[in-house]
Amino acid sequence: MSPSNNTAASKSVPDRTAGAPLDQAATDHVVEVRDLVKTFGKLRALDGVTFSAERGTVLGLLGPNGAGKSTLVRILTTLLRPDSGVARVAGLDVVADGQRLRSLIGLTGQSAAVDELLTGRENLELVGLWYHLPKREYRRRAQETLDLLALADAADRLVKTYSGGMRRRLDIGASLIANPPILFLDEPTTGLDPRSRNELWRLVRERVGAGAAVLLTTQYMEEAEQLADRIVVIDKGTVIADGTADQLKARTGGATLEARVTKPSDLERAVAVLGDLSPTPPRSDAEQRQVSIPAGEGTDLLLDTGRRFQEAGIPLDDLGIRRPTLDEVFLSLTGRSHGDAEPSSAEVAP
Ligand SMILES: Nc1ncnc2c1ncn2[C@@H]1O[C@H](COP(=O)(O)OP(=O)(O)OP(=O)(O)O)[C@@H](O)[C@H]1O
Ligand SMILES: [Mg+2]
List of domains in the chain: 3-249 (3.40.50.300), 255-322 (3.30.70.100)
- Decide: 184 and 60 in contact? Cβ < 8 Å: no
How much of the chain exceeds pLDDT 90, in percent? 48
How much of the chain exceeds pLDDT 70, in percent? 86
218 lines ligand 1 (CB under 6 A): no
Take atom 28 of ligand 1 and give the residue whose Cα is closest: 66
**b/e code 118-151 from CB counts within 10 Å (16+ = b):** ebbbbbbbbbbebbbbeeeebeebbeebbebbeb
Q: Compare 333 and 144 and report the one with higher pLDDT.
A: 144
Work out which ligand 1 atom sits closest to the CA atom of 63: 21
Model confidence at 200: pLDDT above 60: yes
pLDDT at 255: 84
45 lines ligand 1 (CB under 6 A): yes
Measured in angstroms, how far is the CA atom of residue 62 from the centroid of ligand 1? 14
- Decide: 27 and 95 in contact? Cβ < 8 Å: no
Take atom 4 of ligand 1 and give the residue whose Cα is closest: 40
180 lines ligand 1 (CB under 6 A): no
pLDDT at 114: 80
The whole-number average pLDDT for the span 191-208 is 85
Measured in angstroms, how far is the CA atom of residue 3 from the centroid of ligand 1? 15
77 lines ligand 1 (CB under 6 A): no
Model confidence at 347: pLDDT above 70: no
Q: Which of 120-124, 168-172, 335-339 has the highest mean pLDDT?
A: 120-124
Work out which ligand 1 atom sits closest to the CA atom of 110: 27
pLDDT digits (tens, 9 = 90+) for 283-320: 999 999 999 998 876 678 899 999 999 999 999 999 99
Q: How far is residue 231's CA from residue 225's CA, in Å, rounded to a whole number?
A: 9
Take atom 18 of ligand 1 and give the residue whose Cα is closest: 68
Strand partners, 290: 260, 285
63 lines ligand 1 (CB under 6 A): yes
339 lines ligand 1 (CB under 6 A): no
Q: How far is residue 16's CA from residue 104's CA, in Å, rounded to a whole number?
A: 9
236 lines ligand 1 (CB under 6 A): no
DSSP per-residue letters across 233-297: EEETTEEEEEE-HHHHHHHTT-EEEEEEESSGGGHHHHHHHHHTT-SSPPEEETTTTEEEEEEES
Sign of CA dihedral 162, 165, 168, 172: negative
pLDDT at 340: 55
pLDDT at 11: 40
Measured in angstroms, how far is the CA atom of residue 66 from the centroid of ligand 1? 5
Q: Compare 8 and 337 and report the one with higher pLDDT.
A: 337
Q: Which of 38-52, 104-118, 252-266 has the highest mean pLDDT?
A: 38-52
Mean pLDDT is lowest, of 159-163, 166-170, 295-299, for: 295-299
Mean pLDDT is lowest, of 27-36, 110-119, 151-160, for: 110-119
Strand, helix or coil at 324? coil
Nearest ligand to residue 49 Cα = 1
67 lines ligand 1 (CB under 6 A): yes
Q: For a ligand 1 pocket test, name from 2, 36, 62, 69 the mutation site with the most ligand atoms within 8 angstroms of its C-beta.
A: 69
Mean pLDDT is lowest, of 3-7, 122-126, 165-169, 209-213, for: 3-7
Nearest to 259 by CA among 245, 244, 246, 275: 275
